[in-house]
Structure formats: structure tokens, C-alpha cells
Amino acid sequence: MSEITRVALDAMGGDNAPREMVKGAVEAVRKRKDIKVLLTGKEDVIRKELSAYTYPEEQIEIVNATEVIETAEPPVKAIRGKKDSSIVVAMKMVKKGEADAFVSAGSSGAVLVGGQVLVGRIKGVERPPLAPLIPTLKGVSLLIDCGANVDARPSHLVQFAKMGSIYMESVMGKKNPTVGIVNIGAEEEKGNALVKETFPLLKECPDINFIGSVEARDIPYGAADVIVCEAFAGNIILKLYEGVAGALLKKVKKGMLSSLRSKIGALLVKPALKGVLKDFDTSEYGGAPLLGLNGLVVKTHGSSKSKEVCNSIIQCVAFKEQKINEKIKEAIQQETLEEKKEVE
Amino acid sequence: MSEITRVALDAMGGDNAPREMVKGAVEAVRKRKDIKVLLTGKEDVIRKELSAYTYPEEQIEIVNATEVIETAEPPVKAIRGKKDSSIVVAMKMVKKGEADAFVSAGSSGAVLVGGQVLVGRIKGVERPPLAPLIPTLKGVSLLIDCGANVDARPSHLVQFAKMGSIYMESVMGKKNPTVGIVNIGAEEEKGNALVKETFPLLKECPDINFIGSVEARDIPYGAADVIVCEAFAGNIILKLYEGVAGALLKKVKKGMLSSLRSKIGALLVKPALKGVLKDFDTSEYGGAPLLGLNGLVVKTHGSSKSKEVCNSIIQCVAFKEQKINEKIKEAIQQETLEEKKEVE
């Protein structure tokens, strides 16, 4: 039997906590024998939720945490002040090696700050990026960075490209993944100051498959496996993806219900469309990993339901089995060695 | 009878030139008596295209220009070198007041550079923004700036907000249009350095209806009438809008054709869906004006067909009738006066 992956799950975070979090944990352990879920949060509340299910009991453990960090709280203050919150307790377990990974649908800010402050960065990693998978016509792409740290430097983007390539290759099984940088034109001389400075660095980078600039228009068509950008741009891309798809489908639905004829048609196309929309549904792909930390931290949507929670938990197994962090350490160490050589 | 609006049209620019350009001109003068189109480009080619139509001949004039600027040419060099190109000849007519406006589906770079260099900026305007209308569930929003000048300063964004408000109010008839700044969260303390610096300036601005930050997710739902952002972000938003919508519809179509049942359904929903998609089709709204110049310059999609060309030409009438440039001059002058007062 393979090794057990221990995943701490924030039972109190997200719009649908604790119900959907606990349900997601149960679904995960029902599916996989090699997972143990450590539910952090208010013990009595979690126990009550758990009592509704039958599941392999040795695979779920409750770790009591009496406080909850709310989404509106300033992240730094919350992480410092609420030592007994579900987020802080879980992150400390990852730090101590009592858990391999942490999954939360709670406050993005608190998860990002906690990841850096409590779990800590891998030596040499300048900035840990948040890297969600986004659906494309070819499958999925990794959008890196969508985190809270904006105004990145070129060296950050180069590390994002390396870490993203490792993730796509090892976790998603994409051999020699292509890397593109988000730009406003295909030519090398185009772009803002950051992109212009980063472009030649990525071009010279030996351990990635850099294919040049990617225009936003081509991202949904699967222009590159790893889409590198600064967090402000990444956030716009991620949220507009959801926004345009959501708005357009709303319009399509309204159109279909506009006449009797189209209503009948809608009934007939519904099953076929369901599959299509499932492919373009970001929750199918689990949460976004925060890469470059001493342990895995995964942020799922605030609106996550059990399916996404379950997918996010299962995602942690591949991350551990594929030794992603060891690979990131190697890549970053390699970088430092090269820099030293250049200086000498 | 109202005054005539004279629109110079680049007959040689765009993927479908000269055919669709000439056709668009014919459609425009057939629809409106108060428009005169000055077709710039190779006289013999244009004359041949025109001969296929009957139309009020006094409303279309050919202005011979023997050169063509190609999309791939470096814009500054092209504008300087090709003095007898359809773009340069037309822009000079605007500068001299022989035309009120110029519409082109040709090289974006050349149109943006030519606008600044040949037509020239209104005194006090620091940077002329390119401002397309984008479809939303509530109608349309003006996305300002999507131009070629990235790395903007806060004072640029404040002018974009003012010029955008004037356009939405006077040309689109939106009373007291709301203005939002693209940001990665709703709170004032969020954002990159540019947004954080710009936010308080917009808040203090007396002549706009500033409603704060707008997240990209909410743009397609019509979060604000004027969406202010730096050109790099604006370009991402505009192109991702097209990309996500295009990719999703491709998937929907594929889904509908996946079984006999869904194929029959597709036939039934088709007429209803057509209306929906027309609403979400950017070409319905004409081209993007380049604001803040001594005359109107409108850039339409490179792939424009006659419908978009015609809409872009008609758009110029409202721009002239509503005296947009006079209003922009006043707003910018007001700004300079306020600054002077502060210094004194």
C-alpha cells in the first residue's frame, strides 16, 4: 500500500462551511484509502456534521480550533491575533510536518499571509504564487500568479515559470509543458516594462519550454500550458473568465426560454450542454495551490461545494507522491548556483 | 437640415479591405443624409468597388492615396515614411478640418501613432486613450484605456475617467454615468501601486460619478458604465472577453451537434440564440474612439465587415453633434485651472 497523505482541511472556511467542507472530506476518504483528513475547527460543530455520514472512521480526525477567521478581517492581524483559528492551527500542523497539505475555502488573504508567515517559503523562493488551473478548449492551463502580491519583479516571474512547469509536468502529467507570458501582442518588443524585462530572461531559461508571448484572446483556446503573469493581471484573467462565462450562459439560458419553440429545443440540448459546461467549470479542477512553500497549501473557491473540496483533497496526493517540493527546491537551488557562477 | 458630418474612411485598411470598407460606406450614406464619406486609398481600386452599388453619389468622394500601411510595419516608421498612405492622407484631412472624423480598420499601431503625431492631442490631454464599448448584461460599458501606451500614471487614469464619462453621457446618452476602476478586490486598500495612487484622486474628482473598485468578474454584468484601467489591463480585458466568449460558444455548438437529439434541439433554439449572441457581439457597437485628439479617430476591428464599418461611421455623427471635443477641452481646462489655484 502506498503512503498516507495527511490533509488538514479548514472545516470553518468558505460560504458553505462547515457542511460542504465536512461532506467533501467524507467523499474524499470514501474514494481513496491513501488519504487521511484532519478537520480543523470547532469540534462539536464538526462532530455533529460528521454524524450524518458513514465513512472509514480511521481516515478522518477532528483537530479542535475554537476561533474562525472571517473573510472581511485584515489578514495579517487575523493570522497574528487568532492563534486558535482553524487556519492557524492547520498551518502550524503543516509547518511541523503533522500534515502534508492544507486545504481552505476561507479568507484568501489569511491563507496567503498564513502560508508565507506560518508554513514559510522554500529557501530561495522569492514569492509564492497562487496558481489555479483554468479550463481551455484543449484541457487546462496553469495560470500563475493570481495571488495577493502585486507589482512583481522579473525574477519573480521567472520562478513562477519554473514552478509552474514542474507542477504541470508532475501533477498534471503534461510532458515538457509550454510556457507563455501574457502580453498585449505577439512581438517581443511589445508589452509593459515588466514583460519587456522578463521576456529575455524566460528565453534564456534552460529548464522551461518557453514559447513567447500569449495574447489574452488565445488563453481560452489553450495557447500555453503554463500562463505566466503578474498577480494583478492574473487576477483579472481568472475573474473575467468566470464573469464572461457566467454572463454569457445567463444570456443563453434567457434566450432559450424566450419562446415555446426554444423551450422545447432547450430540453433536447440540455443533456449535451451539461457535459460542455462541466468541462468549462473551474470547480472541476480542485483548488489553486500556493507554490513554493514548505508544505502544500491549497486555496479553493469561497463558494466551494463538497465536490471541489473533495477534488482539492485528492489533488494533494499527487503533489506529495510526485515530490513537487523537492523538485522546486532543486530548480531554485540550480538557479542560485548559476547566479554564483556568473558572479565568480 | 442638420449639418453634414464628414468622415474620412480608410478604404485600404483591415482584413476585408477594400470590399467591406466601401460596402460599409455605401450602407452608411444610404441610411443617413447627414453624412459624407471621404474614401481614402487607391482611386482605381475604390472606384471599381463602388461601381457595384447605387447610392447618393454626392455623399461619397474618393481621395486618392497611393500607399498602404501594412499591419506588420513598425508604426512610427510607417507614419513618417508613407506620406501618401490612406491613413496619413486621411489624418491630415482631419488635422486641417477637411474631415470631422477618421475611421480605420487598419494597423492599430499606425492609427494610434498617427492620431497623436498627425491629428494631435487636445491641449492639456496627457495621453489619448482608446476606448471601445464592450457588451454587458445591462447594455454596454466603455473600457478606457485599451491603447498601445502601457505603464500609465495616475493623472492619465483620472483624465480617462473624465473623457470616458463625457463620451458615455453625450454619445451613448447615459445620464451621470458610473465610473469604476479595475481592481483585484472591492476594498480601497487593495490593488497595485497605480490603483492605490489613483483611487483617492478619482474619489476627489468632482465631475465624475466614481463608485470605487470594480472586480473583473463583475464587468460583464455591467458593474460600471465607464471602466477605467491602464492599457495593459484593458487590452487583457478586451481580448479575453472575445476569447472566452468565442471558446465557450465553440464548445456549446460542439455540444449541440453531439447527438441527434441535441441536433434537433439546436435547430429549435437557434433563432432565439441568434438574438442573444448579437447582443454580445462587439461589432454591433462600432469601433473604438481614440479620445482627446483634435478631431475624432475611430479604430474598428481588423476583421470588420461592412456592418461594423457602417456603425463606426454613424457613431461619428453623435460625436460631432454632441461637441464631445469641446466638452473634453472644458473638462481638461477646468483641471488646469484647479491645479493653478492649488499652486497659488
Instruction: Tell me: do B242 and B277 sit in the same domain.
Output: yes
B260 Cβ under 8 Å from any chain A Cβ = no
Residue pair B221/B136 in contact by the 8 Å Cβ criterion: yes
Least confident range from A1-5, A181-185, B34-38, B175-179: namely: A1-5
- The residue ranking higher by pLDDT, A106 or B260, is A106
CA gap B89, B82 in Å, rounded: 9
Query: Is B150 in Cβ contact with A232 (below 8 Å)?
Result: no
pLDDT score for A344: 58
**Which parts of chain A fold into alpha helices (H)?**
19-31, 43-50, 75-81, 86-96, 108-114, 154-170, 193-204, 231-256, 260-279, 306-321, 324-343
Q: Please tell me whether residue A52 adopts helix, strand or coil conformation.
A: coil
Instruction: Tell me: do A263 and A136 sit in the same domain.
Output: yes
Percent of chain B with pLDDT strictly greater than 70: 96
Q: Is the pLDDT of residue B37 over 80?
A: yes
CA gap B215, B212 in Å, rounded: 10
CA gap B162, B129 in Å, rounded: 11
pLDDT score for A3: 87
Query: Is A261 in Cβ contact with B268 (below 8 Å)?
Result: yes
User: pLDDT tens for residues A278-311?
Assistant: 777 766 677 899 999 999 999 998 889 999 999 9
DSSP element (H, E) containing B238: helix B231-256
Q: What domain range is B48 assigned to?
A: 1-125+292-344
In chain B, which among 19-78 make CB contacts under 8 A with chain A?
none
Percent of chain B with pLDDT strictly greater than 90: 70
CA distance A271 to chain B (A): 8
Name the closest residue on chain B to residue A272, using Cα atoms: B255
Q: Please tell me whether residue B332 adopts helix, strand or coil conformation.
A: helix
Q: Please tell me whether residue B171 adopts helix, strand or coil conformation.
A: coil
A220 Cβ under 8 Å from any chain B Cβ = yes
CA gap A332, A122 in Å, rounded: 9
Tell me the pLDDT band of B344, cut-offs 50, 70 and 90.
low
Q: What is the CATH number of the domain that holds B82?
A: 3.40.718.10
Instruction: Tell me: do B36 and B149 sit in the same domain.
Output: no
In chain B, which among 269-298 make CB contacts under 8 A with chain A?
269-273, 275-276, 279-280
Domain-terminating residue out of A250, A282, A314: A282
Instruction: Tell me: do A113 and A149 sit in the same domain.
Output: no
Chain A residues with CB under 8 Å of B235 CB are 184, 216
B197 Cβ under 8 Å from any chain A Cβ = no
Domain-terminating residue out of A258, A282, A306: A282
Instruction: Tell me: do A89 and A176 sit in the same domain.
Output: no
Please name the member of B221, B232, B262 whose beta carbon is closest to the beta carbon of A192.
B232
Q: Is the pLDDT of residue A1 over 50?
A: no
Could you report how far apart the first and last alpha carbons of chain B are, in Å?
A: 48
ipTM of this complex prediction, to 2 decimal places:
0.89
Instruction: Tell me: do A209 and A259 sit in the same domain.
Output: yes
Nearest to B179 by CA among B198, B165, B189: B165
Contacts for A211 with CB less than 8 Å, ≥ 6 apart: A178, A179, A180, A224
CA gap B18, A65 in Å, rounded: 70
Instruction: Tell me: do A300 and A182 sit in the same domain.
Output: no
Query: Is A233 in Cβ contact with B279 (below 8 Å)?
Result: no
Please name the member of B192, B247, B255 whose beta carbon is closest to the beta carbon of A272.
B255
Nearest to A115 by CA among A131, A130, A105, A133: A130
Task: Please tell me whether the peptide bond between A18 and the residue prior to it is cis, using omega within 30 degrees of 0.
Answer: yes
Which of A136, A153, A198, A236 would you mutate first to test chain B, the one with the most B CBs within 10 A? A236
Nearest to B162 by CA among B335, B339, B338: B335
Cell numbers for A288: 489553486
How would DSSP label each residue in B96-165?
Answer: TTS-SEEEE-S-HHHHHHHIIIII-BPTT-S-PPB--EEEETTEEEEEE--SS--S--HHHHHHHHHHHH
Domain-terminating residue out of B283, B314, B329: B283
Name the closest residue on chain A to residue B190, using Cα atoms: A148
Instruction: Tell me: do B176 and B274 sit in the same domain.
Output: yes
Query: Is A269 in Cβ contact with B266 (below 8 Å)?
Result: yes
Cell numbers for A79: 493570522
Task: Please tell me whether the peptide bond between B56 and the residue prior to it is cis, using omega within 30 degrees of 0.
Answer: no
Query: Is A235 in Cβ contact with B216 (below 8 Å)?
Result: yes
Please give the tally of structural domains in chain B: 2
Residue A339 lies inside a defined structural domain of this protein:
no
Nearest to A135 by CA among B314, B237, B342, B248: B248
Q: What number is the average pLDDT over the span B24-50? A: 97
Instruction: Tell me: do B215 and B318 sit in the same domain.
Output: no
Residues A165-192 as b or e (16 or more Cβ within 10 Å = b): bbbbbbbbebeebbbbbbbbeeeeebbb
Residue A139 lies inside a defined structural domain of this protein:
yes
Query: Is B216 in Cβ contact with A239 (below 8 Å)?
Result: yes
